[in-house]
Amino acid sequence: MDKNNVENIGDEHHENEDYVPPPQKTIEELVAADQDDESLRRYKETLLGMAHQDKIVFDASNPKSVIVKKLSLLVDSRPEMELDLSDVDSLKKQVITIKEGIQYKVKIDFIVQREIVHGLKYVQKTSRIGVPGEIIIFYFK
């Protein structure tokens, strides 16, 4: 993967902690709204594809709407470090060392199923020699 194509979301989407996402609406509610406007109805059908007829489910055993698959740490001076999030128990034992002051990017691979989601929140907690450090919060709108 080309690291230069990764969007630097940190600079653009770091918001204050008072952000409240708009109320969640189901796909059925979105489709039902504005039924009298023919062009808007066709636009929604095109935009939603088959999701407006039947819910899209990638993993029926997982009830979540968002399934985070992988987290990658991108640093210019070293290869991409990938963390498989399907096995959380082994992940808790893994320590990631980041040199102080280094510039890096985080890439999150995830799947959205069942409903449209908005207002995703990413919290990154760092520690130094076991002492809690900086907490960074990003909102994806």
Per-residue pLDDT tens digits for 99-132: 878 888 888 898 888 888 877 888 888 777 778 8
**Cα atoms in the 13 Å half-sphere on the side-chain side of 92:** 3
Across the chain, mean pLDDT equals 76
The class level of CATH for 3-22+55-140 reads mainly beta
Q: What pLDDT is recorded for position 11?
A: 40
User: What's the Rg (C-alpha) of the chain?
Assistant: 19
d(CA 133, CA 100): 12
| Domain definitions of the chain by residue range | 3-22+55-140
Per-residue pLDDT tens digits for 66-90: 888 888 888 887 888 888 887 777 7
Greatest pairwise CA separation for the chain in angstroms? 61
d(CA 87, CA 92): 9
Query: pTM to 2 decimals?
Result: 0.62
Q: Where are the alpha helices (H) located in 1-141, listed in sequence order?
A: 9-13, 27-32, 38-48, 88-93
